Amino acid sequence: MAIESKNPTNKECIKYITDKSNQLGIPARLSLATAWIESGFTQFDYLGNTLRNPTSNDFGIMQITIGAKMCMSDWGYISNKDWDRLLIDWKFNIDIGLSELKSCYELSCNSTEEIQIGCKHFNGITTEDCIARATYSAYNAGPNNISRYRTPFIVLTSKTEKPYIYENRYDYRDINFWTIYSCKSWEKIVI
């Protein structure tokens, strides 16, 4: 679907995400790292089409999955009308994504045992950092995957599994998130 629109600047995204995160009561750093790793703050590709992950059906800045029930957010299923808006309105895409991220954040905050295990597993990591990592795992792979960031993959069990997604036996998505969250990559390119 060709759309005559342009991406917001990184500065606009940072401000909008920070303000919305403060309004929702979730750490802005977590929200910014999630949006950055999901899309690099990009809503549209170079042709003006909504950015889509080529290996899935995820769209826009927050990489919202088409037809998916939002895990536990207030949005539930996204209607066709809202879906169309989510594809062309970068702020609405962020609103939906942050609503979902908030649900994942609350789940992580309420999973005390999971977080304590995570903090022991990664010696020296703070509770806040464990919550951020668990939140991203849940956001990226669903609420049943809250511990993915600290769960090593022992063996590939079938030919359909993708061995290239593992680094040091951990899922590369969680490793990449942690790198971006730790060094605040979005601050390095503010235009």
Lowest mean pLDDT among 94-98, 146-150, 164-168: 164-168
pLDDT at 74: 53
Q: Is the pLDDT of residue 111 over 60?
A: yes
pLDDT at 69: 47
User: Could you say which of 100, 116, 134 is where a domain stops?
Assistant: 100
Q: Indicate if 147 and 117 belong to the same structural domain.
A: yes
Q: Is the pLDDT of residue 146 over 70?
A: yes
Residue 130 lies in a domain: yes
Q: Indicate if 84 and 118 belong to the same structural domain.
A: no
Residue 3 lies in a domain: no
Tokens 């950055």: give the residue: 36
User: Could you say which of 100, 130, 146 is where a domain stops?
Assistant: 100
Q: In the structure encoding, which two tokens stand for residue 110, read together? A: 């309420």
Residue from 153, 140, 159 nearest 58 by CA: 140
Q: Is the pLDDT of residue 187 over 90?
A: no
Residue 177 lies in a domain: yes
State percent of the chain over pLDDT 90.
40
Q: Indicate if 54 and 28 belong to the same structural domain.
A: yes
Per-residue pLDDT reduced to its tens digit, 115-136: 676 667 666 778 888 899 999 9
Q: Which residue has the higher pLDDT, 71 or 6?
A: 6
User: Are 61 and 67 in contact, with CB atoms under 8 Å apart?
Assistant: no
Q: What are phi and psi of 59, to 5 degrees?
A: -130, 145
Q: Is the pLDDT of residue 155 over 90?
A: no
Per-residue pLDDT reduced to its tens digit, 41-72: 999 998 888 898 887 788 999 998 865 545 44
Count of domains for the chain: 2
Max distance between CA atoms of the chain, in angstroms, equals 49
Q: Indicate if 22 and 89 belong to the same structural domain.
A: yes
Residue 1 lies in a domain: no
As a whole number, mean pLDDT of residues 92-100 equals 93
Q: Indicate if 40 and 78 belong to the same structural domain.
A: yes
User: Could you say which of 100, 128, 162 is where a domain stops?
Assistant: 100
User: Are 38 and 63 in contact, with CB atoms under 8 Å apart?
Assistant: yes
Exposed (0-12), middle (13-18) or buried (19+): which is 28, by Cβ within 10 Å?
middle
* Cβ-based neighbour number of residue 71 at 10 Å: 16
- Whole domain around residue 31: which residue ranges? 10-100
User: Which pLDDT band, with edges at 50, 70 and 90, does 1 fall under?
Assistant: very low
Residue 89 lies in a domain: yes
pLDDT at 73: 46
User: Which pLDDT band, with edges at 50, 70 and 90, does 5 fall under?
Assistant: confident
Q: Indicate if 145 and 170 belong to the same structural domain.
A: yes
